């Protein structure tokens, strides 16, 4: 099963880590709770607070955090140390420099 993206548009929400879940509170009331293993990314579209524990855990688990301003413009992204796209690009560059692979690919 492919992980989903959570897009948060709840103003003044507070996202924090609770066990193995992301909990979303507004004021002191719980609005949402999602297991981390269901998430591939979290997109924050309005003024939202994130706990540092949640940010660290998302980085460790490879869950992207994307921050957008109120107009939806990109402001920042937090990713863990290894991203699938980076690994893919490194493999492509290694293969492009490999003469044997390059020659075999051109002849087929």
What CATH number does the domain containing 36 carry? Answer: 3.100.10.20
pLDDT at position 53 is 98
**Is there a domain that residue 73 lies in?**
yes
Residue 79: its pLDDT value, please?
Answer: 87
Residues of the chain with pLDDT under 50: none
Residue 97 forms part of a structural domain? no
Instruction: Residue 14: give the domain boundaries.
Output: 4-81
Residue 96 in domain: no
Give 42's contacts (C-beta < 8 A, 6+ positions apart): 5, 6, 8, 15, 22, 58, 63, 64, 65, 66
Q: How many domains is the chain partitioned into structurally?
A: 1
Inside any domain, residue 34: yes
pLDDT for the residue numbered 57:
96
Q: Is 47 within the bounds of a domain?
A: yes
Residue 94 maps to a domain: no
């Amino acid at each position: 099963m492919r992980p989903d993206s959570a897009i948060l548009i709840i103003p003044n929400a507070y996202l924090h880590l609770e066990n193995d879940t992301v909990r979303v509170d507004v004021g002191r009331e719980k609005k949402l709770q999602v297991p981390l293993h269901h998430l591939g990314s979290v997109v924050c579209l309005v003024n939202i607070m994130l706990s540092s524990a949640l940010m660290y855990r998302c980085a460790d688990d490879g869950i992207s955090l994307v921050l957008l301003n109120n107009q939806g413009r990109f402001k920042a992204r937090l990713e863990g140390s290894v991203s699938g796209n980076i690994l893919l690009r490194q493999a492509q560059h290694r293969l492009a420099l490999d003469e044997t692979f390059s020659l075999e690919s051109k002849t087929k």
